[in-house]
Structure 1
Amino acid sequence: MSVAETVATAASPDTLDLLLTRRSVVAKNLSEPGPDAVTLQKIIAAGLRVPDHGKIGPWRVQVLLKEGQLALGDVLASVYLADNPDAEKRLVDMERLRPSRSPVLLAVTSKIDPHHPKIPELEQRLSGGALCQNILVAAHASGFAAQWLTEWPAFHPTVKEALGHDADTDIIGFIYIGTPTEAPTERGRPAYEDVVSEWTGPEPKV
């Protein structure tokens, strides 16, 4: 079978329909069940099949199930209270529960090599973004829903340190995965003609 035939065989209208119907679901609307261990491994494996110029793999994924979510919640509550000593207890409790909004939480990190001799920083960063998007699509394909968030914990050095990362590592996303408690409403999308154009060459100089 030729390469062209292989690609044609692999093409599937169902895949396009899947991409056209993917929709993020807010984390608080994600409930049990979440993906089991085998399904989660497949979701993450699909996430890893991204463009990665130079094969440098500038990203990592941490899986937080209930034990890890509770531990991270304690960290967030402590950090939030330290930064906001007059905060009401309900706000501190909200931060404690933040990581536990879905059955599965993934912490995705990226460590960029700004001095790489061949791979630009931008390409390394985009690879991490593609990893997160692949995970969202794979979760959808597996019958679940997901939301990719950062929020303040992704940018706080104490949270980063608690998760075992150094100052040069970025938390590029917390991805919440579970079963939606209600069907998500469709959101507005940019009109095709507003974002897509054909380029046929430089404009002639007057």
Structure 2
Amino acid sequence: MSPLDFLNSRLSVPSRQLGEPAPSVQQLEQLLAAAVRAPDHGKLTPARLLLIRGEARGKLGAALAAIHHRIEPNAPEAAFAKDRERYTFAPLIVCVVARIDEDHPKIPAQEQILSAGCVAYNLLLGAQALGYGAQWLTGWAAYDRDAAGLLGLAANERVIGFVHIGTVLKPAVEGPRPVLTDIVSELKL
């Protein structure tokens, strides 16, 4: 077995294919502690985690559908239904929030955002290591200020992603992977 087999087997399980049970309290604590061990230039801790579970999932979907309806009242009903259902499949959604200090004298905002992104990726890897499935999603709500207000985000915060976690009900299908020769080159000075 290669030490890289775990990374080579990583794949996202669509949130619609995730169900109960979610990680136990102990597993969740271990998962979150491992996830925040991400690269963090300057030790700023530029990410925080918002757990969405139980009835909050459906309430979030309904509130987001209402925001969407205000923004785009003539959108098809199917779009609003998708908003309402989006958070009801996986029993646990971890919203990864980046806390950005735009004026930091040493650490560029991009590094802070990337650090928070690593936390989201660690959640994917950690969920799989614990035997669960996970999918990192964004959607319009990750970029909307009204949705940010609904989630309790400060002006300097933004959603990096919603990581849906649960028991795999239907295995994910392996998708195409990049061919290394198409994406790898060598610097020649």
Find the aligned partners of 2:43 and 2:147 in 1 and give their Cα distance: 28
Find the aligned partners of 2:77 and 2:135 in 1 and give their Cα distance: 27
Q: CA deviation at 1:198?
A: 4.1
Find the aligned partners of 1:45 and 1:164 in 2 and give their Cα distance: 22
Bigger Cα displacement from structure 2, 162-171 vs 104-113? 162-171
Unaligned runs of 5+ in 1: 1-12
- The DSSP-based 3-state class of the residue aligned with 2:93 is strand
Aligned length: 189
Render the CA deviation track for 1:130-166: whole Å, top value 9, x for unaligned: 1111110000000001000100111111111011112
For 1:163, the equivalent position in structure 2 comes to 151
**Counterpart check, 1:68 vs 2:56:** yes
Find the aligned partners of 1:124 and 1:47 in 2 and give their Cα distance: 15
Unaligned runs of 5+ in 2: none
- The DSSP-based 3-state class of the residue aligned with 2:68 is helix
Q: CA deviation at 1:167?
A: 2.8
Q: 1:170-189, aligned counterparts within 5 Å?
A: 170-189=158-177
Q: 1:145 aligns with which of 133, 138, 149?
A: 133
CA gap of 1:91–1:195, structure 2 versus 1, over 3 A, is: closer
TM-score norm. by structure 1 comes to 0.85
- The DSSP-based 3-state class of the residue aligned with 1:177 is strand
For 1:126, the equivalent position in structure 2 comes to 114
- The DSSP-based 3-state class of the residue aligned with 1:174 is strand
Identity %: 38
Find the aligned partners of 2:76 and 2:143 in 1 and give their Cα distance: 22
Instruction: Please identify runs of 4+ aligned residues in structure 1 that moved more than 6 A.
Output: none
Bigger Cα displacement from structure 2, 66-75 vs 53-62? 66-75
For 1:25, the equivalent position in structure 2 comes to 13
